[in-house]
Amino acid sequence: MSSLVTIISKFYDKSGQRVINLNVKSRYHGSIRENQQKTDKKGFFIFQASANRTIEILAKPPNAKEYTVFKMMNSSVNSSASHPVKVYLPKTIEEYRQENIKTPQRKTVKNFFKVVDRHGKVMSNFPIQSRPKGKKSFERSTDEEGLVEIESSPNRDIEVLVLTSGDTFILKKSVNSGSGSKQPILIQLDEPYDNFKSSSTITLLDRNDNKYIVEKTNVEILALEGKEKNIITTSNGKIQVRGHIGKWLKITVYKPDGTPLKSVNYLPKRINESSVKLHLDVDVTIGRTAKNEPNITKQIRENILITMNQMQKIE
């Protein structure tokens, strides 16, 4: 069995300062067996090895992901506490600590877009769709100033689609999200504002989701921006409402005695909408009785008590 020799090594950084509490290893060249330690308070790494073997000394500086060989030598080299084998790191410990410490990158960034019509008119509450390139679209609307905020991953190619008077969305802008920007990116439509008139078929429902069907129901439609008012009458629980995309309408339904129900605001988002449901703050019971076909949607809740004598009379 070969005799063991003691090797005394000492670690220094680039500035010549001793490096304490450093993760270190020693191993024979070509071997997978390792001796793992930490340098002591003086920077020493002391270990034993067989004589006349090629030795590798490895270290893992702060923030490093793995060990690196910093010294290769013959194990029979003379060493002592006063004359240790010196192992130098190519950087200062401070440089190692700062290395790989990056400013945390935000998971998402925000970009702003402003939508105007062909003539530069701001398109308020106007529907758009956005998507990462080649991915699924998400719909949102501009605010009163025609602005919309789109949040995405940094440096991501994003696409913005806009509504047309043909009731379809078309690709209008492709940009890279970069690191985000508060300066709005302008999106100008190919059509004027007047092309975006809407016609909506609205079904009136009560608060319990029942259809509000009352003969000759008067409904007031008020355009909140222009104050234009229109009165229509319905008997089938549906109304046809005309307006502009992105312009609020105030809808007031009147009961047969002329009393108005609580008004409901409606915002058209398509040129033609046929499946809009508007809930009114009222309960309505739809009941009609045909021959041998009673149809009562209101549940009877009264308790009925029948005595034995009454039962005999019924029989």
pLDDT tens for 251-287 read 999 999 999 999 999 999 999 988 899 999 888 764 3
Give domain status of residue 283, yes or no: yes
Instruction: Please give the structure tokens belonging to residue 40.
Output: 């002591």
Instruction: Please give the structure tokens belonging to residue 224.
Output: 């909140």
Of the candidates 58, 57, 55, 59, the one whose C-alpha atom is nearest the C-alpha of residue 73 is: 55
pLDDT tens for 115-133 read 999 999 999 999 999 999 8
Residues 251 and 292 in one domain: yes
Give domain status of residue 269, yes or no: yes
The two most distant CA atoms of the chain are separated, in Å, by 124
Residues 294 and 240 in one domain: yes
Residues 50 and 83 in one domain: yes
Give domain status of residue 104, yes or no: no
Burial 197-224 (b: 16+ CB within 10 A, else e): ebebebbbbbeeebbbebeebbbebbbe
Number of domains in the chain: 3
Residues 242 and 211 in one domain: yes
Residues 188 and 200 in one domain: no
Residues 128 and 158 in one domain: yes
pLDDT tens for 12-68 read 999 999 999 999 999 999 888 899 999 999 999 999 999 999 999 999 999 998 999
Give domain status of residue 114, yes or no: yes
Instruction: Please give the structure tokens belonging to residue 210.
Output: 């029942």
Last residue of a domain, one of 171, 194, 217: 194
Rg (CA), the chain: 40
CA distance 115 to 82: 77
CA distance 50 to 52: 7
Residues 86 and 153 in one domain: no
Give domain status of residue 103, yes or no: no
Burial 242-278 (b: 16+ CB within 10 A, else e): ebbbbbbbebbbbeeeeeebeebebebbbbebeebeb
Measured in whole angstroms, how far is the alpha carbon of residue 143 from the centre of its chain? 19
Residues 211 and 190 in one domain: no
- DSSP calls for 92-137: -HHHHHHTT-PPPPPS-EEEEEEEE-TTS-B-TT-EEEEEETTS--
pLDDT tens for 172-208 read 999 999 999 889 999 999 999 999 999 999 999 998 8
**Domain assignment of residue 122, given as a range:** 109-194
CA distance 172 to 160: 6
Domain containing residue 225: CATH number: 2.60.40.10
Query: What pLDDT is attached to residue 292?
Result: 41
Mean pLDDT in residue range 305-315: 45
Residues 158 and 190 in one domain: yes
